Amino acid sequence: MTDTTKGSDPEAVRAAVRAGYADIAQHGSERRKSSCCCGMSEVDSDALARHIGYTAEELAALPGGANIGLSCGNPGAVAGLQPGEVLLDLGSGAGFDAFIAAPKVGPTGRVIGVDMTAEMLARARKNVAAFRERTGLDNVEFRLGEIEHLPVADASVDVVISNCVINLSPDKAQVWREMARVLKPGGRVAVSDLALLKPLPAPVVEMVEALVGCIAGAVLMGETESMAREAGLTEIRLNPKKGYVAAMTDWKNPLYQKIIGHLPAGSGPEDYITSLEVTAVKPVQKCCCG
């Protein structure tokens, strides 16, 4: 399989994703019901977050509007964040994971969010003042950029996280290379994403809603592992978590209901799709000098 999502034109994929998420940023839950990864209402966004492992305390501390229900896992929970670390959040959206991570790295740490959608970036930046007032921390910033070409210096980051975003990229191998580039030696990756247990039927792949919804661009778990390894990362661990997809189906998420209509009789989304935790480490080069 090539790096380009399902053979589509990369710029067309980026344009579709950017337009879909700009619409979500501007119109909130009304657009989420039909076009996004989770499609939850404002209230159910918190229910989803609790279901995938965020605590009530973390959610209560968020600025208003930071949680717009776009998560498929909780990468910060497996990142082992420490005070003073620099964290990079790929596809940071309205700032949900960035704001949750900031108290964990503390005043001596730093959180950088990168997103290619100007409307999402504006929403996240608007939340910075409220976060600063609520926590007393001034350690979060948001940068405009593509995750395939990160506006971040080489070897400057301790931890890279991402939540249901890499699958949207038309060049996922390049994203993994960029993660390895910006990580310090010994730095680590903690990603939550959607992955495939087996290939999706063609009608699902062709659904634009599914692309924007983190599904049509997903790849097989083995492909994810190969891309991370080829980028130079080690200690790669994959942890599939089927509960997320089952919840989306049980909650009658509109996008998943559309997908069910395109699947073979007797099968469901959970037979094809899983939420996947990926952790990895950038190795420390051993000195060969004597």
3-class secondary-structure state, position 80:
coil
In this structure, are residues 231 and 272 in contact, taking their beta carbons and an 8 Å threshold?
A: no
**Could you tell me how many helices (H) and strands (E) the chain has, helices first?**
13, 7
63 CB contacts (<8 Å, ≥6 apart)? Answer: 95, 99, 127, 128, 130, 131, 134
Highest mean pLDDT among 61-70, 98-107, 259-268, 269-278: 98-107
Measured CA to CA, the distance from residue 114 to residue 94 in angstroms comes to: 10
pTM, entire model = 0.87
Q: Which domains, from first to last, does the chain contain? A: 5-281 (3.40.50.150)
The first and second tokens of residue 166, run together, are 């890499």
At 94 the pLDDT is: 92
At 128 the pLDDT is: 95
In this structure, are residues 231 and 254 in contact, taking their beta carbons and an 8 Å threshold?
A: no
At 33 the pLDDT is: 43
Model pLDDT for residues 29-45, shown as the tens digit of each residue:
444 444 444 444 444 78
Model pLDDT for residues 193-245, shown as the tens digit of each residue:
999 999 988 888 777 566 666 677 889 999 999 999 999 999 999 999 988 88
Which of 180, 213, 171 minimizes the C-alpha distance to 1?
Answer: 171
Can you say whether residue 20 is alpha, beta or left, with left for phi > 0 and alpha for psi between -120 and 50 degrees? alpha
168 CB contacts (<8 Å, ≥6 apart)? Answer: 13, 17, 91, 211, 212, 214, 217
3-class secondary-structure state, position 45:
helix
